[in-house]
Each structure stands twice: as structure tokens, then as C-alpha cells.
Structure 1
Amino acid sequence: MNPDFLPALHRPLRALGAYAERHEVNDQALAEICAEVDRARQLVAQARGARWANACTGHPGGPVDPTTPKGCLLCGTQERRPGRPLPNDFAPSEVLRFLHALGQDAGTRRYGAQAVTRALVTAHRRLSTPRPAVPAGHTTTPKERSDAQHAR
């Protein structure tokens, strides 16, 4: 049984219970009762189906790996893959020059995927504008600094 359908099944059953409290039943009410019974039957049939084999919210119904906590092969592969640490002397400009000369595959083999990705991200990042220095002993808020810049 697939318990994921129980909250949805609760709604038509509750609606059917509400009809029992009515004293007058007409053709319209009988049509509504019939629709609720059909809806409840469909949900029971779906609940009889197989439950998703993995409990992963990111890949429901995806491939199964019983050795992972959620049973998801896709998430388990990501968890098992060890990340190569960044080199101590990591310099994005050096990695970028290497990528430009020999390509991304060679750069990944030499520096690792994380270093190549970080270098590419920093290459496409916009440089921020330098902020004016605040003299020692002065405490100003960003709004006061902005107002002072606009006053110039």
C-alpha cells in the first residue's frame, strides 16, 4: 500500500460523512455523493499501487540504491563522490590561463573540477566598485555616506 494517498483519501471520505448529517436528500445531493464515492474509489485504487521505492524528494520514482539513506541512486552517487580539495596555491588567474591554453578537460585533470569551476566563476564575476574609506574615529551609516556622496 502507498500511504502517500491517505491525506487525499481523507477529503472525500469526510465529505461523504457530512452528507449523513443532512436530513433532506435530493437528486443534486445524490449526484454529489456519487462523485465523492468515485473519487474515493480512485484514490483507494491508487493507494493499492506500488509505493515509490526511494524516499528522495528530489528524485521521486528515480533509480534505487538500497545502500543510501534515502534509497536514491542519484543522490547516493553525489554523496559518495569525493570532492578534490582546492590546491593550497590556488590562483584563479593561473587556472584560467591554463584553461585558455590547453582546454577545460586538461584543466580539470590538473587542478580538479572544483578549482576550474571556481576560476570560471570568478572570471565572470563583475568587479565591485570600491567604497570610500571612512577616516579613523568617524562612524557613519551607509545612508549618511550615500547622502554625503550625492551632496558633492
Structure 2
Amino acid sequence: MVSVLGLLEAKETEAREVIERLREEADRVLAELGEAEGRLERLVIAREMVGEVLNGPAVPAREAAVEDAVPAGVMVVPRRREGLSPRVLPEEYQRVMAVLDAGAGGGGVRARDLTVALGREAVPSKIECVRSMAKRLVARGWAVEETPGVFTPAVGSVTPAAAA
């Protein structure tokens, strides 16, 4: 006769294996996403350079080129570099940056407070979504997470509205 505990342990092992397989698949998908974003960024730069060579310096600014290059429904967060304004970010990320700029003087903003400031309901799923956005801004150099869970804008990445 099979014991209940034995059955539960077997189910637990199966669940752990499924979780591990899904984590590996998620890592693979995230790696592919990173490669695709990098490829898009290089294509935008190539288009700008060709336009500059053919037309002279009258080519649209880098910010406009990035906005034009984003396919519908895809939120591409470019890596921050010198001279790149937060206006290149998708609108929702610009809103996150504006809240971070406003809260920078108070030592940073927690994901829960950021979620509320964006007008979203403070439930775990919404908070995690906003935390993910903030972490993506950190990974791309737009924001800093000096204390775990507390986000501030990176030096020099102030939004135009906050700078005024």
C-alpha cells in the first residue's frame, strides 16, 4: 500500500521539477529578449548613421528615432547613455521616472508607494508589475536601487518636467 506522505512527496518533487524547467525557459526567453532589444538598438543607430551620412546633420534627434523604431505593443527600454533623455522611454516608464524624480529628495520611493503614485491599486500583482518596471529601469541605468526595494533616479536622468 502506498502512503499518503509518499504520494505527497512525489507530487512535491514533480512540482519542483516543473518550476525548475519553467525557470530555465524564462531565463532563455529573457536572454532572447535582451538580444532582440540590443539588435533593435543597433538597427536604430545604423539607420541614424546612414541618414546622417546621406542627409547631413538634419536627421531627427536620437530620441525621436528610438520612439519611431519601437514596434506597436512593444515597450523597449533603451540603455541610458550620455545625452539620452528620459523622453526616449515608453510613456509608462516616463511616468515611473517622474514619480522617482519627485520622491528623490525623500530618500527614494518604495514599489508600493510608486504603484499608488501611478494611480494603480496597491495589490500584490500591481506592486510586482511596478517593481519589475523599476528594476528594468535600474538594469538599463535610468534608476538606482541603493537600498533593496527603494528606487531613485540615476544621476543625470531627470525628466524634463522635473528639471523645470
Q: Give the TM-score range, shorter chain.
A: under 0.3
| Structure number having the greater helix percentage | 2
Larger radius of gyration: 1
| Structure number having the greater strand percentage | 2
Q: What is the TM-score normalised by the length of structure 1?
A: 0.24
